[in-house]
């Protein structure tokens, strides 16, 4: 995939921009790299142009481009200006939730609508932050390198270990129910993951005031998500005037696979296509 590096006032940002049609801005979640695809790249075949911006600390995007969601929102506006994009619909995934909220609330004239996919609307809890800082701080390269090596030889073991953080279900039963395609999805997601300096930055994010959101918002969440609990959906619904919550019948944080995956795709397209 051809990527572009833009020297903004806050530093270097990496992005890709492809397709023809109404512009979508994709903000990926924690640990996701330029190579991590949770199905969103297919949106270009649905008549959209897709701008995928690597968040601060991920890929070649420098942490200085946005220590806070509000700062990175300003950097994103620079990218939109550079590309002569008047407005976008925003898809914010998981840890990118606060950035999506910041952009839509501070620049409603540049955002048509906001789609929150299993996205954070509340701060990380203290225990999760402490654990994540140990695993994905200075040692993150070694951690991910070791996990990728083990994934090749013991895929079930590594999938089980990481999925236990994403599901409230019995993880063995969850693994057994996965289709071959779903297993491939998880394998590819893990094999392309890298935290860089991005995830430790994510952990310090505070959530902007959601009451300021004026654009239409759709939140898609699962009741069985351990990493982004369903309380995030309830908070979003109670804070935003124009908000719909689509409850996904998924067994984990990974709302893009499983029995409801096609409904998620249809709901996303329906929301993004509405004028």
Mean pLDDT by 10 residues, the chain (275 residues): 92 97 98 97 97 98 98 98 98 98 98 98 89 88 94 95 95 95 96 95 95 97 97 98 97 96 98 92
Question: What is residue 1's predicted lDDT score, i.e. its pLDDT?
Answer: 61
Longest dimension (CA), the chain: 50
| Residues near 184 by beta carbon (within 8 Å), at least 6 away in sequence | none
Q: Which residues are paired to 225 by β-bridges?
A: 167
Question: What is residue 48's predicted lDDT score, i.e. its pLDDT?
Answer: 98
What is the C-alpha separation between 189 and 37, in angstroms, rounded?
7
Domains in the chain (CATH in brackets) are: 4-125+197-273 (3.40.50.1820)
SS3 225: strand
CA distances from 115 to 118, 245, 264, 272 (A): 10, 10, 12, 8
Q: What is the DSSP letter of 221?
A: E
What is the C-alpha separation between 103 and 168, in angstroms, rounded?
31
122: annotated active-site residue = no
Reading the block at residue 181, the tokens are: 């395609």
Sign, Cα dihedral of 238, 243, 249, 255: negative
Active-site residue (options: 32, 54, 94, 193):
94
Question: What is residue 126's predicted lDDT score, i.e. its pLDDT?
Answer: 86
Q: Yes or no: say if 67 and 57 are a contact pair by the CB < 8 Å rule.
A: no
What is the C-alpha separation between 254 and 227, in angstroms, rounded?
10
What is the C-alpha separation between 197 and 137, in angstroms, rounded?
7
Q: Yes or no: say if 25 and 78 are a contact pair by the CB < 8 Å rule.
A: no
SS3 12: strand
Q: What angle, 0 to 180 degrees and rounded to 10, lies between the N-to-C axes of helices 140-153 and 180-191?
A: 150
SS3 58: coil
Q: Which residues of 82-100 are buried (b: 16+ CB within 10 A; e: fewer)?
A: ebebebbbbbbbbbbbbbb
What is the C-alpha separation between 62 and 76, in angstroms, rounded?
13
Q: Which residues of 39-51 are buried (b: 16+ CB within 10 A; e: fewer)?
A: ebeebeeeebbbb
């Amino acid at each position: 995939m051809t990527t572009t590096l833009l020297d903004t006032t806050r530093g270097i940002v990496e992005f890709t921009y492809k397709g023809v049609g109404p512009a979508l801005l994709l903000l990926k979640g924690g640990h996701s790299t330029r190579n991590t695809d949770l199905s969103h790249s297919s949106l270009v075949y649905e008549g959209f142009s897709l701008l995928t911006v690597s968040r601060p600390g991920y890929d070649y995007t420098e942490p200085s481009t946005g220590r806070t969601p509000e700062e990175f929102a300003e950097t994103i506006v620079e990218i939109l200006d550079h590309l002569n994009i008047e407005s976008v619909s925003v898809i914010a995934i998981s840890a990118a939730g606060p950035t999506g909220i910041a952009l839509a609330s501070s620049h409603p004239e540049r955002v048509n609508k906001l789609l929150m996919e299993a996205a954070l609307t509340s701060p990380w809890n203290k225990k999760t932050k402490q654990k994540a800082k140990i695993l994905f701080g200075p040692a993150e390269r070694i951690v991910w390198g070791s996990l990728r090596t083990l994934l090749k030889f013991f895929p079930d073991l590594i999938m089980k270990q990481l999925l236990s953080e994403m599901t409230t279900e019995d993880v063995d039963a969850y693994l057994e129910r996965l289709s071959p395609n779903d297993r491939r999805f998880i394998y590819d997601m893990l094999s392309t993951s890298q935290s860089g300096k991005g995830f430790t930055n994510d952990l310090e994010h505070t959530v902007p005031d959601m009451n300021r959101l004026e654009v239409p918002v759709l939140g898609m969440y699962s009741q069985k998500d351990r990493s982004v609990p369903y309380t995030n959906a309830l908070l979003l619904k109670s804070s935003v005037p124009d908000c719909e919550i689509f409850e996904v019948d998924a067994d984990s944080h990974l709302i893009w696979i499983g029995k409801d995956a096609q409904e998620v795709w249809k709901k996303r397209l329906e929301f993004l296509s509405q004028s």
